[in-house]
Amino acid sequence: MSQPPRNGRAPSVKDVAAAAGVSLGTVSNVLNRPSVVSATTRERVERAMSELGFVRNESARQLRAGTSRALAYVMLDGGNPFFHDVAEGIETAAEAADLSLFVCNSNSRAEREAKHLDRLVQQRVQGILITPVDPDAPHLAEIARRGIPFVMVDRLSSAGDHCSVAVDDVLGGRIAVEHLLDRGHRRVAFVGGPASIGQVRERLQGAREVWTEFGMAEDDLINLPTDALTVSEGRSAGERLAGLPSRRRPTAAFCANDLLALGLLQHAVTAGLRVPDDLAIVGFDDIDFAAAAAVPLTSVRQPRQELGRTAARLVLDEATNPDHVHEQATFVPALVARASTGTVRR
């Protein structure tokens, strides 16, 4: 049996070659091009590696190859299960390609996002996927300029100079509010913010479009901005709704994501309101918690893992295919009706 070096240092390629009785080139081929080595020799080298406890120096390999065996995803909000589901889809595709996945969280802060990107470039990741704070930020343009494979997730590229995957958020807003109108609601609140988030703006745009098309009074679609897309902000929105005069109080709310909707639902139940009789609620994303809520939540579903898998496919194609063409992939959202919006109001 081969013995590891006794001076405390990690076993090297030279140690493996000596233990297996082969050349350094043969060990290199086993590590990098195993198909060119005979099965008997390959088995002898691998046995020596195992007995010595040899671990390849991935950093050195990265320096030689100019890239690592990893992708990276910079998510917008680590507290939102939606982005974890997207990351799971990315990881599934990365694993199939024998790659690891680094996951970073910008926490909706542009300066933190930029620092993550700088570090990932230094790590020589094969490709970067990002749900950006600002899709037009200069540091994103710099990533593309350097030729690093790059895909925007949950936002479409307006310039088309890189790949992107997203759901049609305007259509999602239309679907949600049309559902409430079909349920007989004539005063509806839109709960969401900040307006700097493109998804929030587009979901509100869709809500306003369908509201106008149904001939509803503009003032009866009440915009209730929030500082973040969180459960606590949803509870705060519930307090503000309760403070409105009864003649102006909405009978339904469309929330820009499920976390807001769950917070609003919590406040409503605590305040003794009947959902959906006193207040109907629609969320967006259809995270797993939506169906498990005290009153199962109606939500606009996004294909979260499919977004991630598609984004990973595109970034891998850019990294490996010299004929790669940038693609803007758009998915269609779908309403999942549950108890929080009930049946048609009479």
Q: Which residues contact 331 (CB under 8 A, 6 or more apart)?
A: 165, 166, 167, 168, 302, 303, 306, 307
Say whether domain 68-166+304-331 belongs to CATH 1.10.3720.10: no
Q: Residue 44's Cα: distance from chain center in Å?
A: 44
In the block, tokens 């080139």 appear at 25
How far apart CA 198 and CA 140 sit, in angstroms, is 16
Domain boundaries of the chain, sorted by first residue: 13-56, 68-166+304-331, 169-303+335-341
The domains spanning 13-56 and 68-166+304-331 adopt the same CATH topology: no
Which CATH number among 1.10.490, 2.60.120, 1.10.260, 2.60.40 corresponds to the domain 13-56? 1.10.260
Is the separation of the CB atoms in 201 and 195 below 8 Å? yes
pLDDT in tens, the chain (346 residues): 555 555 556 788 888 899 999 998 898 888 888 889 999 999 999 999 888 888 776 555 554 445 688 999 999 999 999 999 999 999 999 999 999 999 999 999 999 999 999 999 888 899 999 999 999 888 998 888 888 899 999 998 777 788 999 999 999 999 999 999 999 999 999 999 999 899 999 999 999 999 999 999 999 999 999 999 999 999 999 999 999 998 899 999 999 999 999 999 999 999 999 999 999 999 999 999 999 999 999 999 999 999 999 999 999 999 999 999 999 999 999 999 999 999 755 4
Question: Which superfamily does 169-303+335-341 belong to?
Answer: Response regulator (3.40.50.2300)
Q: Residue 100's Cα: distance from chain center in Å?
A: 16
Partner residues linked to 152 by β-bridges: 130, 164
How far apart CA 261 and CA 192 sit, in angstroms, is 10
Q: Which residues contact 165 (CB under 8 A, 6 or more apart)?
A: 151, 152, 153, 154, 307, 310, 311, 314, 328, 329, 330, 331
Assign residue 285 a region: left if phi > 0, alpha if psi is -120 to 50, beta otherwise?
Answer: left
How far apart CA 166 and CA 308 sit, in angstroms, is 10
